[in-house]
Structure 1
Amino acid sequence: MKKVVLFLAMCLLTFPVKADEGMWFLMFIERLNHRDMEKMGLQLTAEEIYSINNHSLKDAVVQFNGGCTAEIVSKEGLVLTNHHCGYNAIAELSTAEQNYLKDGFWAKDKTAELKPKSLYVRFFVRMDDVSKRILSKVNDKMTEEERNKVIQQEIALIEKENNEGGKYTVSVRPFFQGNEYYYFVYQDYKDVRLVGTPPESVGKFGGDTDNWEWPRHTGDFSMFRVYADKDGNPADYSKENVPLQPKHYLPVSLQGVKENDFAMILGYPGRTNRWVPASGIEQNVKFAYPAWVEGAKTGMDQMKKYMDKDATVKLQYASKYASTANYWKNRQGMIDALTKAGTAKTKTAQETKFNVWANKANNKQKYGNVIATINNYYAKTDLKSRHDNYLTQLLRTSKYGASVATLGNSLVGYYKENEAKRTELLPKLNALIETVYTDFYAPLEKDILVAQLNLYVSKASEYGIAPVVAQLSAENKGDFTGYVNDAVAKSIFASKESVLAFLNNPKPENIATDPLFVISNDLMAKIRAKSEEQTVLENDFATSYRVMVEGLRESKMNAIQYPDANSTLRLSYGKVRALPADKRNDAKTNNYTTMTGMVNKYKAGDSEFDLPARLLELNKAKDFGQYADKEGYMPVNFLTDNDITGGNSGSPVLNGKGELIGVAFDGNIEAMAGDVIFDKKLQRTINLDIRYVLWIIDKYAGAKHIVDEMTIVK
């Protein structure tokens, strides 16, 4: 570890650190970032941010259900995250008659809190560097497959050594494309209950129209509580469980923000690709992302058609639609931003310079062919990337497209077993059936499959589509409407009821010829297929990509000193920072928005811009209580220049004292290329002002007992 730290420290002498760029490991904060952060306004020690032996900020930040971030805001395990992070749990707990997603929910006390079927939070315990240990087990003569096998064996040993007999979850992750490795120790709590959520008209105000946009006026938050057994240990749900007493929780500041205030964000950013080669960017912009966008929109259109007609269907598909829509707009934003920024051109210039260095006599053997190999890989996989994205969106948006193959093959395996083994497997089989047909509406699923198959055969055929689907397309002149209608009418897998009927009178030999299974199995086989040429290409690419990153770091041609995001805990720091003046924003400075601006967007009855009558009344009366800014307005959202990405949703935004000032929930579309290249001029994080959160809970919802549970700093 000393060598790694020394290397990073030396690099800092060569390259100035941009205070607003970087997703940093907490274990390196003291050596790499603390002095910078102090100059900007941090008043905490590095030990108060990350400590193994004492409570610190890291103990108040959790990964929420594997995909978002959340923070602990009371000594009784109260959790704050985004509304869109809690969306699935809220929808699951709702019914058409008692629709918490639409109308909101606030538990009057702890006994009224609601338990979703499956929801967990993950606490970060510690991390350490195991690069030397793992890399000592491999050599340059190994293929990537051989290398990965050896690495996975060593990872398994490290995870076992550190899980304390199953008490902890341990994850060893590669960084810098496999040039470094670190292990992370976590503790998971699975009894997490809904405490409160604003109505959808507040929590999702602006809908898809405002998503990724500024100025923004969204109350994007929800609240949960972590429960443990009487000794504070993780436990399955039980009425005997008690609220968790956390090691640390965040105090909440009412002081507000102003331009150039220090802002620090801790969270679990999902994925960045800042080392991606120029030809990889070109492939994404021209082949992969356009297919993703079109496929996602096709699925969304079919979902919305039925969701608009039926409140129950809307609840069933609310989370799936929201997730699909979010990435649909994200990918289009990526196309536009990467194109406008000329990112591929910038990367090409860097790679050209690197190639000169790589082909010097003392570098050529190791680095000489790296760029050529990478470019060859992308050139030969452009059409595949387009095909795979169309097919992936088909499989993601249609349960008939993906789940039928999984269920059908599980049934085939089940009926091959003897009676004793079947008895053992039956609970798992029933659980799979329940999973497939939960949040399932057959007419909608049928229309998604038709639309996606028609799109797939018309747009992905240049690469070569799934063979059975290609044959069916030819027989049906490219229109799957009639075939799918007939298939659903005859299929074992058309509905949960038809599958259960099959179980009662099984004829396993019929599965292989079932019309929905035939399509689904063909599609799944296609997405999994890998030719010998593809295997060689991927091996050579993986090696070259890893070596390229090593060379860029060795040559100091790339100044990035933080690893790409990969859902591990990171810290980013920056300032409250405005965008250029915008006439759409009524605020004096374009770094915050107000309730006045939100009400100006209000459209009665509109699915995206409606507002509750009570909120409008409170605004008219200027009944903002202690949560108003000192200038009299009610703040809603604000901007910082922190470096975040997906997965940071719900992350705490902290001032220099470690007090909660906001909740991160989005980025701005102008800087959507940020996952690939950081734009120090345009990149912003859109945050929910904590004062608006508290106002909604207290004044709007009348749930002051929840605010009283927090430590408020005035």
Structure 2
Amino acid sequence: MRNPLRAAAAAACVFALIATPASSEEGMWTFDNFPAARMQRDLGWAPDQAWLDRVMAGAARLPGCSGSNVSANGLMLTNHHCITACLRNLSSEQSDFLAAGFTARTREEERRCPNYSISILTGITDVTQRIDTATAGVAADAFARTRDAEIARIESECTSGQIRCEVTTLYQGGRYALYNYKRYDDVRMVFAPEQQVAAFGGDPDNYNFPRYCLDFAILRVYENGAPAATPAHLSMRFTPVTEDEVVLAVGNPGTTSRSRTTAEMAFQRDIQLPWMLNVLSETRGRLIAYSELGPNQRRLGTNALQGVENLVKRFSGQRMSLVSAENFARVTAAEQDFQARVRRNSASAREVGDAWGEISRAQDTYRGMFYRHQMLEASAAQRSQLFGWARDLVRAAEERPKPDAQRMPRYTDARISVVERSITGAQPTETDFERLNLEIWLLKLREYLTVDDPTVQRILNRQSPEELAARLSQSRLGDPAVRRQLWEGGGAAIAASDDPMIVFVRSWDTDARQVREQFETQVEGPVARAHERIARARFRAFGTNTYPDATGTPRITYGRVRGWTEGTRTVPWFTNIDGLYARATNAEPFNLSQRWIDARGRVNGATVYNIATTTESVGGASGSPLLDREGRVVGASFDGNIHATAGTFFYDPTLNRTVTVTTTAMQAALRDVYGMNALLAELGGS
């Protein structure tokens, strides 16, 4: 059952401040605080509660992405780039489903995605008071640990069977909400086009418009070995949208920083983003070289390269937005204005205290440990599957015997099933690809922490990064039977293991845990505590008339189908299939698959293909269903324009656009190119 926001929000009359008006399309809103009155005022129509409830029940959360339930028998619509990991894991040197596409013409041909789940939000409950009570009077350095312990208790009380519960921090700690999900762990591939068509235009077209990407895929969720019954699904509309039509999008946007302080944004601008871009740029170069070694390397490397190139553009755009003196001045002015308003209210001034100063000092502290925290803990070997399994095995063996509230959050009772499923499930690994990813990390580790660092010396153990990566890539953890044996054997099995990757992680995990604890007590805890006080002042000022930063949880945003004007250039709101063929060449990344070349005379060239909308989108919202006023799916959003990369920090209604592949393009593809008439009929409700 969804409860209203806590009573503190109603105190806006006590602290009468005037909020800066947001543009009508701005905002990634939670389902229990949708601004229907504002939308009605600005766009002349708004959904009622029944509409919101129905759409929430039909929206889906995928790993790092979004989607929608679009049939009574469990069909799920998302983006192609959201399921490339599944296609890669199902592929082999003989059957490359990324290159050839995947078409299951019968239920028997649908294939299960390893270690994949899809969740549907079923309810939201406010748990702010409970966490406030648990953390009352707790010192800043213990705040994160105390908060996480209470969160673990709340989640464990709720989680059972297919029901998974997560506590989400909203408004930088101003509110905590318990999200209840129904999770499907049996997810099977039904349809995916060839990657060259799904990602047509590649990196040159990425974050641009006009676009011509068939970036969609269809999955199906199963229960007890049979297609799941999903009566609360959304219907699909196969008639084209029109310019200025009102649309809404529902997804799981990952992270925004619009409520962050200028000190935190300056840290991202000066430290975090440059570091990320440096690592990603080198990774991109290594992946390009790897992809040229042979067809199997090309299969593995091309998919990884697509993700890396996307991140390079995204983070470059974010840094450019923060480097802009005009943009940063706007952020600084807004913060100074809010600080002045807080000082004018004695109650808020006492409660907030020196919160901004505490956050600034924590950022200064983080500067001194940033590279160590990233290289040893937060981003350690993040592209190595073998390392990920080994760290989970080693840490779970140590954490599982502890009381639930004392464990690291990842290993609490409510969350550990996800870890177990990843460790014990079948998922292929490639030795040379593992070696490459380990080598990249070890080289950057030595570069950023230096060869004189004691932990680096312990990690390398007088070996070069290349030598160590080659040895570690021979780990036996690629065998799921080995992983299951270690998982079930617990601490004794881990201590006795001579697997090179297990021995490696064991040898220095204490160092990683120490830097993790240092970060929690000196940075995360003080920042969270300070943000909580600022958030309460903001509640007094604005109540629930503002939206929280994105947190990777379900949100709804609204806007119109619309292009934009940039200088003297006017960008239209749509592209069509004729434009796809006109843009196509025989050279990558503008080459079409043979199926599309052969279908040229069958498809209607006027079919609306990709569209631009003013709905908001950031990473994690990929696959979001774009909905019309009746709640019907008219597309799956897959990207933003280049201006949308700044959406992490602010929204510009004149330039920010989301890019969507339309249901009209999907219909044309399934009917006229791939001959998937039975699937199309099911999507149409037959």
TM range (shorter): 0.7 to 0.9
Letter in 2 for 1:23: M
Asked if the contact 2:459/2:504 (under 8 Å) is kept, the reply is no
1:662 aligns with 2:662: no
Q: Secondary structure at the match of 1:396?
A: coil
AA of the residue aligned to 1:371: W
Q: Summarize the Cα distance change of 1:301–1:33 in structure 2 as closer, same or farther, 3 Å threshold.
A: same
Find the residue that maps to 2:548 and give its secondary structure: coil
Q: Give the conservation status (yes or no) of the 8 Å contact 1:641–1:685.
A: yes
The match for 1:180 is 175
CA distance in 2, matches of 1:354, 1:599: 52
Q: Which residue of 1 aligns with 2:64?
A: 67
User: In the superposition, relative to structure 1, how do residues 642 and 520 fare at CA in structure 2: closer, same or farther (>3 Å)?
Assistant: farther
Q: Which runs of 5+ in 2 are unaligned?
A: 401-417, 487-491
**C-alpha displacement of 1:520:** 8.3
Q: 2:603 aligns with which of 624, 633, 638?
A: 624
Task: Tell me the SS of whatever aligns to 2:112.
Answer: coil
Secondary structure of 1:397's partner?
A: coil
State the partner residue of 2:215: 220
Relative distance call for 1:80 and 1:408 in structure 2 (3 A) is: closer
Following superposition, the deviation at residue 345 of structure 1 comes to 2.8
Q: Counterparts of 1:380 and 1:246 in 2: how far apart (Å)?
A: 52
CA displacement at 1:665 relative to structure 2: 0.8
Q: Could you tell me which of 333, 339, 344 is aligned with 2:323?
A: 339
Map Cα deviations across residues 612-658 of structure 1 (whole Å, 9 max, x no partner): 23423433x3x335xx6xxxx23221111111222211111011122
Q: For 1:157 and 1:507, how far apart are their aligned partners in 2?
A: 29
1:599 equivalent to 2:581? Answer: yes
Aligned match of 1:469? 456
Which residue of structure 2 lines up, in the alignment, with residue 488 of structure 1? 471
CA 1:407/1:135 → structure 2, altered by over 3 Å: closer, same or farther? closer
Q: Which AA in structure 1 matches 2:211?
A: R
1:550 to 531, 536, 551: 536
Distance 1:376 1:404 in 2: 35
Deviations for 1:75-133, whole angstroms, at most 9, x for unmatched residues?
32222110011211122222222222111122222222222233222122121323334
Alignment of 1:532-543 (within 5 A): 535-543=521-529
What is the one-letter code of the residue matched to 1:590?
Answer: P
| Residue from 565, 586, 589 that aligns with 1:580 | 565
Q: How far 1:200 sits from its partner (Å)?
A: 1.0
Moved more, 304-313 or 568-577: 304-313
The residue type equivalent to 1:129 in the other structure is D
> Would the alpha carbon gap of residues 589 and 284 (structure 1) be closer, same or farther in structure 2, given more than 3 Å must change?
closer
**Counterpart Cα distance in 2 of 1:667 and 1:599:** 22
Instruction: Show CA shifts across 1:462-498 (max 9, x none).
Output: xx9752425888978xx644x537x729x9738859x
Counterpart of 1:312, as a letter, is N
Residue correspondence of structure 1 range 354-373 to structure 2 within 5 A: 354-359=338-343, 362=346, 363-373=348-358
> CA, structure 1 residues 488+600, in 2 after alignment: closer, same or farther (shift >3 Å)?
same
Question: Which residue is equivalent to 1:418?
Answer: none
User: Which amino acid in the other structure matches residue 253 of structure 1?
Assistant: F
Name which one, 1 or 2, has greater alpha-carbon Rg: 1
Given that 1:41 and 1:261 are in contact with CA atoms closer than 8 Å, whether structure 2 keeps it comes out as no
Question: C-alpha distance in 1, partners of 2:419/2:79?
Answer: 34
More relative contact order, 1 or 2 (CA 8 Å, 6+ apart): 2
Give matches, 1:628-639, under 5 Å: 633-639=606-612
Distance change (3 Å), C-alpha of 1:207 and 1:439 = farther
| Counterparts of 1:48 and 1:334, CA distance in 2 | 35
The structure 2 residue matched to 1:306, chosen from 269, 278, 290, is 290
Report the alpha carbon displacement of residue 264 of structure 1 after superposing the two structures with TM. 0.4
Matched, 1:24 2:29: yes
Within 5 Å, which residues of 2 pair with 1:495-506? none
2:85 to 88, 91, 95: 88
Amino acid at match of 1:33: A
Which letter does structure 2 place at the counterpart of 1:125?
A: T
Aligned with 2:613 (options 618, 637, 640): 640
Q: What is the CA distance between 1:524 and its match in structure 2?
A: 7.5
Within-5 A mapping of 1:106-145 = 106-139=103-136, 141-144=137-140
Distance 1:508 1:68, change over 3 A: closer
**Counterpart-to-counterpart distance in 2, 1:445 and 1:554:** 51
Partner of 2:555: 570
Q: How many residues align?
A: 656
Match of 2:662 among 689, 704, 708: 689
Residues 114/167 of structure 1: CA separation in 2 closer, same or farther (3 Å cut): closer
Instruction: Return the letter of the residue paired with 1:332.
Output: S
Q: Which moved more, 1:441-450 or 1:205-214?
A: 441-450
Amino acid at match of 1:85: C
Match of 1:249 in 2: 234
Which runs of no fewer than 5 residues in structure 1 stay unpaired?
Answer: 51-55, 229-234, 415-427
Q: What are the residue-to-residue correspondences of 1:200-215 with 2, within 5 Å?
A: 200-215=195-210
Q: Matches of 1:660 and 1:410 in 2, distance apart?
A: 41
Contact 2:207 2:640 in 1 (8 A): yes
Superposed CA deviations along residues 332-373 of structure 1, whole A, max 9, x for unmatched, are: 221122223644332322333344445558254433422222
Cα–Cα, structure 1 residues 371 and 605, in superposed 2: closer, same or farther, change >3 Å?
same
Q: Matched residues in 1 for 2:175 and 2:603: separation?
A: 51
Residue of structure 2 aligned with 1:561, choices 531, 539, 546: 546
**CA-CA distance at 1:307 after TM superposition:** 3.2
Structure 1 stretch 451-460 or stretch 204-213: which is displaced more? 451-460
**C-alpha distance 600-290 of structure 1, shift in aligned 2 (>3 A):** farther
The answer as to whether partners of 1:288 and 1:386 remain within 8 angstroms in 2 is no
Structure 1 contact 635–691 (Cα < 8 Å) conserved? yes
Separation of aligned partners in 2, 1:707 and 1:39: 36
Give 1:458's aligned residue: 447
Q: How much has 1:221 moved relative to structure 2?
A: 0.5
2:626 partner SS: strand
Q: Aligned with 1:289: secondary structure?
A: helix
Cα separation, 1, equivalents of 2:19 and 2:150: 34
Determine if contact 2:445/2:456 at 8 Å carries over to the other structure: no
Paired residue type of 2:553: T
Among residues 177, 183, 190, which one is paired with 2:185 in the alignment? 190
1:300 counterpart SS class: helix
- 1: CA distance, partners of 2:379 / 2:190: 34
Helix, strand or coil at the partner of 2:221 = strand
Structure 2 counterpart SS, 1:294: helix
2:365 corresponds to which letter in structure 1? K
C-alpha contact (below 8 Å) 1:468/1:519 kept by paired residues: no
Structure 1's 528 and 154: CA in aligned 2 closer, same or farther, altered over 3 A? closer
**Deviation of 1:539 (Å):** 3.4
SS in 1 for 2:564: coil
- Contact in 2 for aligned 1:43/1:657 (Cα 8 Å): no
CA separation of 1:539 and 1:615: change in aligned 2, threshold 3 A: closer
Post-superposition offset of 1:149: 5.6
User: Cα distance, 1:273 vs. partner?
Assistant: 1.8
Q: Deviations over 1:409-452 (max 9, x none)?
A: 889999xxxxxxxxxxxxx99998877x9543333433444444
CA contact (8 A) 2:573 2:611 kept: yes
Of the three residues 585, 590, 593, the one matched with 1:612 is: 593
From 302, 314, 323, the equivalent of 1:330 is 314
Displacement, 1:255? 3.0
